[in-house]
Chain A
Amino acid sequence: MKLELRGITKRFPGVVANRDVDLIVQAGEIHALLGENGAGKSTLMNVLYGLYRPDDGEILIDDRVVAFDGPGDAIDAGIGMVHQHFMLVPVFTVTENVMLGVETTRGPLGQLDRRAARERIVEISERHGLHIDPDATVEDLPVGVRQRVEIIKTLYRQSNVLILDEPSAVLTPQETEDLFAVMRSLVATGTSIVFITHKLNEVLEVADRITVLRRGTVAGTTTPAEANREELAAMMVGRDVQLVVDRTPAQPGEPILEVRDLVVRDERGHNAVNHLDLTVRAGEILAIAGVQGNGQSELVEAITGLREPDAGDVLLAGQPLADTPRDVFEAGVAHVPEDRMEDGLIADFTVADNLVLNSYWQPPFASGLRLHGEAIVSNAETLVGEYDIRTPSIFNPVGNLSGGNQQKVIAAREFSRPIKLIVAAQPTRGLDVGSIEYIHRRIVAKRDEGAAVLIVSSELDEVVALGDRIAVMYRGRIVDTLSPEEATPERLGLLMGGAHPEDGEPVDLVGTAPAAGSEPSDG
């Protein structure tokens, strides 16, 4: 089925979200829709899915003009959407979830015909290699499988055009590969796929054609053969972007952060961090790679005083690091938290207040109980300029800023004082390429000033771009530490999946002997 959007314009009060957008998706192609946050990708897809009515322009399916009054019309026309946040009932089985809304019934009482539905699901699953157990309960399934249930849902409704909204965002690298295999299988049978993303690598890997949106308009259409990462990034942002920031080799100095035999339990009492050792020296960046949920969050929380370790030591410049967040702050540790809206910022507070969130109680911002408003304001004015925080006013609630600007607020707050150590977890999560470049530069600049930097990231690109040494964390341990030259995506991927550094076998996690490489070298 061929899908065409012609001259779509969608206005909201005060802004044009889509301006004269043309998009042609041929039958059997994977068409990537690439763009920064706020470029208008979601608006466009909501127009296509019947959630918004365009102010101008038309939608054509197989060269016939159609009009959608709601998602129901779009579904009837053969358009299926897999939302980023899954629309599944956790306690229902796969079959029940897929049937929901289009139940087949039999008998005079309208009994659910689960068997017929089940057979069709099995058939769809086998045709596309989805490997779905139709009787499994959704809440027991891993995220990657749940996504495949969503895909089956659209296929069950006989969709010919599939919209995938940031589908890889919640997946591990392996699951992403599986997803791509499914996507290729689908287009081979004539389905068209619109693949929304802002990840350049994925676009180049899987797309047949690429349309780049910038500020609501089409910045260009290209193919993976004709474009490379740099060109795509430049099209998205509208200027040349450095995907990997320039930097000189590290000049490691004294050990700043030393973690010795650290054990941290999670809420369920398991050793999330399992006898872990690491050292970060002044003037170097240690990047910790790993699939999320391998103890990285617990490690960061233990270092920054948010969680009490169960055993082991954390030393800052040879001294035991105090155990409350405020003491850690005073010792000169900057912390960029994993979840900036949950932990790093108070959305309802102004930009100015957020910039003093952890220093409001000390001079020059306060004396005794009294806050000094002028000092807080002038601090904010300085930092907003220095860190290029785009906000209409320093009195704007920080929640109204874009993600990139929110992260700049955190960076400004954390980096604008004398610090010995930076602990940054997923520092560029959800940011567009322009903001990623900016944050990376700031981190490297701090390294060059002599700070020790510990980065935790599940983005391989980021780990390789920033790390002077790259440690891979798996099930609470550092399984190996590599130099950037050694850290090929294949090797990192294997280590992140638990392969033994030397022979590719899974690490023996039960044995008492430390896994090879769990003691990072000091280079």
Chain B
Amino acid sequence: MADESRHQELETTEAPASAEPAASPPVPEAAEASGNRVLSALRGILLPALALLAAFAVGAIIIIVTDFDLLGQWGSDPIGAIGASWSSVMRTYGALLRGSIGDPGALFSALFSADWEALRRAFGPLSETIVSATPLILTGLSVALAFRVGLFNIGAEGQLYLGSLFAVIAGFTFVGMPWFIHLPIAVAAGFLGGAVWGFIPGLLKARTGAHEVIVTIMLNFVSYNLINWALKTEFVQREGRPDPISKIVEPSAVIPPLIDGLRAHWGIVIALLAAVGVWWLLFRSTKGFEFRAVGFNPRAARYAGMSISWATVLSMVTAGGLAGLAGAAVILGGSGTLSPGFSPGYGFDGIVVALVGATRPLGVVAAAFLFGALRAGATPMQAATGTPIDIVVVIQALVIMFIAAPALVRAIFRIRAERRMGSEVFAKGWGS
């Protein structure tokens, strides 16, 4: 009893605000509560937004101090150097923006010119952002979903590869099908491939307690080599090619572009639908109720009659499937063929996307677009300003750092700490 009483008393001394309203009469007003929800959602956005701002600010400093011409000017002409630094930073970030979203002027005039070619060119950067964001949304959802159940899915990369293998096989094996049958089959095959790769660590965890972090990391290696082997088999390898590359999928299994001539494809719609689906699963379904209960407090979940084993297996299967969808989307919406190492680490970036998105589906989508934009804008930025592409990686890392250290952002912007912030769910860390 002592434990409890002490806990309670500490609660009152340390956070008296929370104890005080408990003494007021219970007036559960739905309107007020929903108002609070909107408010808390806004607060949830505030911190990541400020973290982004801080990351770009520090990024600007790095742009300045890594430019040796500028540094020289600081010595001879400090006043002029301020202006030069400012314009250098603006030029770099401007190029980044134009490379990821597009030139606002060109976008505007293209919209009114009704010239297809101008439109395509103006929307090119945005299209590239969408192409990068599509797999990141799906792998981010994969990691976020598992995390809600208290599992750390480091295996999204491997699940993505398995998904792409299954999708590409389904894509070239069935010939002569109409696209509205073939494409769903190929996409579903991608989900299945990832799901199988998620099922293995899920089952091992549920049955033997094997830690999913270890198992998923190891399965990543297995998946690379499995792909390498599969691409050399007669069944998968393209005829007449000595290198490991798959046959090309049938046109009926290709995810069509959103607009002809642009690379952005309908995979983004699949990803957004998946985000809605994950949101529904987590917050509107009985299974999601179980998932979250197990994630927060497995003992209480068991006491309440839930099966922890089932939740573990089911969530890992779903998480794997989502990562598999990412693989399917990249292959079927892109080159239409599979080769080793086609993923620049979408699965690992998914961990970051889930973290930055506070494991909320909407947050994951937003974070995926952010990282997609940074990725898409990096190369045009380097071409236009000569700023090394690495600055983008630095900014990505800074965003993560500021989001992972909310106390730091609060200190910089002098925000009063709120006790429960969504992003802090990650504070649980690596424990099972």
Contacts and interface: CB of A to CB of B under 8 A. Distances in A.
A403 interface: yes
A373 interface: yes
B7 A403 contact: yes
A38 B9 contact: yes
Nearest to A52: B13
Given A371-B284, A385-B26, A430-B1, A14 B303 contact: no
Interface string B1-38: 11111111111111011111111111011101100110
A476 interface: no
B303 A393 contact: no
Given A349-B293, A391-B22, A394-B33, A306 B16 contact: no
Contacts of A361: 286, 289
A384 B3 contact: no
Contacts of B305: 324-326, 329, 358
Contacts of A405: 22
Contacts of B288: 371
A15 B5 contact: no
Interface string A137-177: 00000000000000000000000000001100110000000
A370 B285 contact: yes
State the main secondary structure of chain A at its contact with B. Answer: loop
B284 A169 contact: no
Contacts of B302: 306, 325
Given A325-B304, A348-B296, A369 B285 contact: yes
Contact of A345 (B8, B24, B300): B300
Contact of A342 (B14, B32, B300): B300
A498 B420 CA distance: 48
A243 interface: no
Contact of B16 (A14, A165, A377, A401): A14
Given A306-B303, A392-B21, A170 B2 contact: yes
Interface stretch (A39-47, A67-75, A118-126, A463-471): A39-47
Interface string A372-407: 010001001100110011111111010011110100
A13 interface: yes
Interface string B274-318: 000000000011111100110011011111111000000000000
A349 B296 contact: yes
Nearest to A167: B2
A84 B6 contact: yes
A377 B33 CA distance: 12
A457 to B, nearest CB: 10
B278 to A, nearest CB: 14
B36 A393 contact: yes
Nearest to A12: B16
B419 to A, nearest CB: 8
B428 to A, nearest CB: 11
B4 A14 contact: no
A37 interface: yes
B8 A403 contact: yes
A38 B6 contact: no
B13 A402 contact: no
A390 B301 contact: no
B4 A429 contact: yes
A383 to B, nearest CB: 11
A17 interface: yes
A289 to B, nearest CB: 15
A430 B4 CA distance: 5
A426 interface: yes
A63 interface: no
Nearest to B293: A346
A360 interface: yes
Contact of A384 (B28, B36, B297, B306): B28
State the main secondary structure of chain B at its contact with A. Answer: helix
Contact of B33 (A325, A343, A393): A393
A430 B3 contact: yes
B300 A390 contact: no
B343 to A, nearest CB: 32
Contact of A349 (B7, B26, B33, B292): B292
Contacts of A391: 22, 26, 28
A400 to B, nearest CB: 5
Nearest to B34: A395
Contact of B293 (A165, A357, A366, A402): A357
Most chain A C-beta atoms within 10 Å of own C-beta, residue among B22, B37, B301: B22
A76 B21 CA distance: 39
A198 interface: yes
B295 to A, nearest CB: 9
A426 B25 CA distance: 27
Contacts of A284: none
Given A343-B300, A430-B3, A360 B8 contact: no
A353 B8 contact: no
A326 B308 CA distance: 13
A390 B25 CA distance: 7
Nearest to A401: B22
Contact of A430 (B8, B25, B296): B8
B285 A169 contact: no
Contacts of A429: 1, 4
A389 B287 CA distance: 28
A306 B304 CA distance: 10
Contacts of A295: none
A337 interface: yes
A381 to B, nearest CB: 5
Interface in B142-157: none
Interface string A315-343: 00000000011100100000101001111
Contacts of B20: 14-15
Most chain B C-beta atoms within 10 Å of own C-beta, residue among A360, A381, A384: A360
Contact of A400 (B9, B18, B32, B286): B18
Contacts of A170: 2
Interface string A289-312: 000000000000000101000000
Contact of B1 (A52, A85, A395, A426): A426
A345 B301 CA distance: 9
A38 B22 CA distance: 11
Interface in A403-438: 403, 405, 426, 429-432
Contact of B303 (A166, A325, A348, A432): A325
A224 interface: no
A501 interface: no
B161 to A, nearest CB: 30
A514 interface: no
Contacts of A426: 1
A42 B293 CA distance: 32
Nearest to A196: B9
Contacts of A432: 5
Contacts of B297: 342, 345-348
A344 interface: yes
Nearest to B17: A14
16 contacts: A15-B17, A15-B20, A17-B13, A37-B5, A166-B2, A306-B302, A325-B304, A335-B303, A347-B296, A353-B289, A358-B303, A360-B286, A361-B286, A377-B30, A390-B24, A400-B18
Interface of A: 12-15, 17, 37-38, 40-43, 46, 52, 84-85, 165-166, 169-170, 198, 304, 306, 324-326, 329, 335, 337, 340-349, 353, 357-358, 360-361, 366, 368-371, 373, 377, 380-381, 384-385, 388-395, 397, 400-403, 405, 426, 429-432, 459
Kindly list the 3 A-B residue pairs having the minimum CB-CB distance in the complex, ordered from nearest.
A169-B2, A430-B4, A326-B305
Interface of B: 1-14, 16-26, 28-30, 32-33, 36-37, 284-289, 292-293, 296-297, 299-306, 420
Given A42-B12, A342-B300, 9 more contacts: A37-B5, A42-B9, A165-B6, A166-B6, A325-B305, A343-B300, A390-B23, A393-B33, A430-B4
